[in-house]
């Protein structure tokens, strides 16, 4: 298939996170206009508390279960907006409920990169605006696309990871 290479971040920490991440990858592979190229290993990752979290949410976020995270490389003919809508549909179909940012979730699908495009819209920002600050994103991205250049920073995924100051635990659990 012709199209654009795009990268999706996958994560969950409720229910059976590994099974849900794998199910989400399967659902992504069935989106019309999308071909699944590669999937990283799955990683057990320590939760990250957003800086914007207030004290009442911070305590709860620090105590939540660890996540399972991965990244997928796809080729698509969909626009970034249409791909994002499909990812949201999968999340909703799998029972995702949005509560507080960084909170527990049954599944999370983030459009990390869409070719070298930069998208700045109300509900969609690509590249993902926080990916360069998160080891749980950069570790799986380095596994499948260490050479990929971030279109805003002009630095590879490996370069971003090497510069990262993130002491959160990210452990490979399986392929």
Using 50, 70 and 90 to split pLDDT, how confident is the model at 63?
A: confident
DSSP state for residue 62 in the 8-state scheme: H
* Tokens linked to 23: 């199910």
Point out the residues that are catalytic: 96, 105, 108, 110
So where are the chain's domains?
A: 4-174
Q: State residue 68's pLDDT score.
A: 97
User: Whole-number mean pLDDT of the chain?
Assistant: 92
| Rounded Cα–Cα distance for residues 2 and 5 (Å) | 9
39: helix, coil or strand? strand
164: helix, coil or strand? coil
pTM of the full structure: 0.93
Say if residue 142's pLDDT is above 80.
yes
Omega into 69 within 30° of 0, i.e. cis?
no
Record: fold of 4-174? Alpha-Beta Plaits (3.30.70)
**Which range, 60-69, 88-97, 151-160, has the best average confidence (pLDDT)?**
151-160
Pairing, β 108-114 against β 119-120: unpaired
Using 50, 70 and 90 to split pLDDT, how confident is the model at 1?
A: low
């Amino acid at each position: 298939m012709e199209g654009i290479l795009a990268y999706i971040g996958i994560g969950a920490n409720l229910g059976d996170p590994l099974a849900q991440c794998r199910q989400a990858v399967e659902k992504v592979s069935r989106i019309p206009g999308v071909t699944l190229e590669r999937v990283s290993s799955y990683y057990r990752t320590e939760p990250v508390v957003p800086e914007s979290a207030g004290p009442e949410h911070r305590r709860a976020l620090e105590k939540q279960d660890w996540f399972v995270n991965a990244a997928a490389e796809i080729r698509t003919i969909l626009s970034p907006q249409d791909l994002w809508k499909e990812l949201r549909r999968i999340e909703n179909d799998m029972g995702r409920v949005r509560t507080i940012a960084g909170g527990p979730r049954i599944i999370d699908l983030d459009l990390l990169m869409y070719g070298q495009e930069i998208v700045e819209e109300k509900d969609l920002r690509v590249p993902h605006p926080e990916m360069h600050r998160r080891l749980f994103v950069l570790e799986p991205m380095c596994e499948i696309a260490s050479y990929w250049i971030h279109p805003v920073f002009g630095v590879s995924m490996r370069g971003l990871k090497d510069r990262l100051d993130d002491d959160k635990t990210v452990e490979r659990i399986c392929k």
